[in-house]
């Protein structure tokens, strides 16, 4: 019959005196004064050290996954915002869905330009830069392609 201490089965073997070291159900030290617990202590120490490394590695992986998830969310939000063109000015529908062939003239028509007058100033805001467009050239057929995320400001 094998006894367990703290839910861990004892190491069964023979001590130098020939006994199995399990008197009274627990491992007893050998009579010659040597210790059989040194290998167990070394094994436990190795497990503790390895466990700490694993926890550190797990935390690093967890942090990396968190950062990757945050970046993915930001990218998706940016893409959702960048799939449109915003037209600011006298228009009915300020948000126009961006397509590969969207131009300034098409965006103004899709936005429903409402003024009776021709625009006197048009500025495309793209990536933090202002790109002025001459309204006269636009009315003469010189159209400008738009990019996803552009913001068009039209002033009468």
CATH number of 84-155: 3.10.560.10
User: What is the structure's pLDDT at 77?
Assistant: 67
pLDDT at 9: 55
Please report the pLDDT score of residue 70 as a whole number.
83
| Average pLDDT per 10 consecutive residues for the chain, totaling 156 residues | 52 54 54 61 63 77 86 72 88 95 97 94 95 95 94 95
List of residues 6+ apart from 119 with CB closer than 8 A = 89, 113, 135, 154, 155, 156
Contact 10, 27 (CB under 8 A): yes
**The pLDDT value given to residue 40:** 65
Global pTM value: 0.51
What is each CA distance from 38 to 34, 42, 62, in whole angstroms?
10, 6, 36
- Count CB-CB contacts under 10 A for residue 90: 16
Which residues does 91 contact at the CB level (< 8 Å), separation at least 6? Answer: 108, 111, 112, 113, 114, 154
Is the four-CA dihedral 96, 101, 145, 156 of positive or negative sign?
negative
């Amino acid at each position: 019959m094998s006894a367990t201490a703290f839910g861990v089965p004892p190491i069964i073997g023979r001590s130098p005196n020939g006994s199995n070291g399990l008197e009274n159900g627990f491992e007893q030290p050998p009579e010659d004064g040597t210790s059989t617990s040194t290998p167990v202590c070394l094994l436990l120490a190795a497990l503790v050290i390895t466990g700490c490394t694993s926890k550190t590695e797990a935390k690093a992986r967890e942090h990396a996954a968190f950062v990757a998830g945050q970046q993915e969310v930001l990218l998706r939000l940016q893409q959702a915002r960048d799939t449109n063109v915003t037209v600011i000015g006298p228009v009915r529908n300020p948000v126009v869905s961006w397509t590969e062939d969207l131009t300034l003239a098409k965006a103004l028509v899709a936005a429903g330009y409402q003024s009776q007058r021709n625009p006197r100033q048009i500025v495309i805001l793209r990536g933090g830069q202002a790109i002025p467009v001459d309204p006269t050239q636009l009315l003469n057929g010189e159209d400008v392609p738009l990019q996803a995320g552009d913001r068009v400001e039209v002033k009468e």
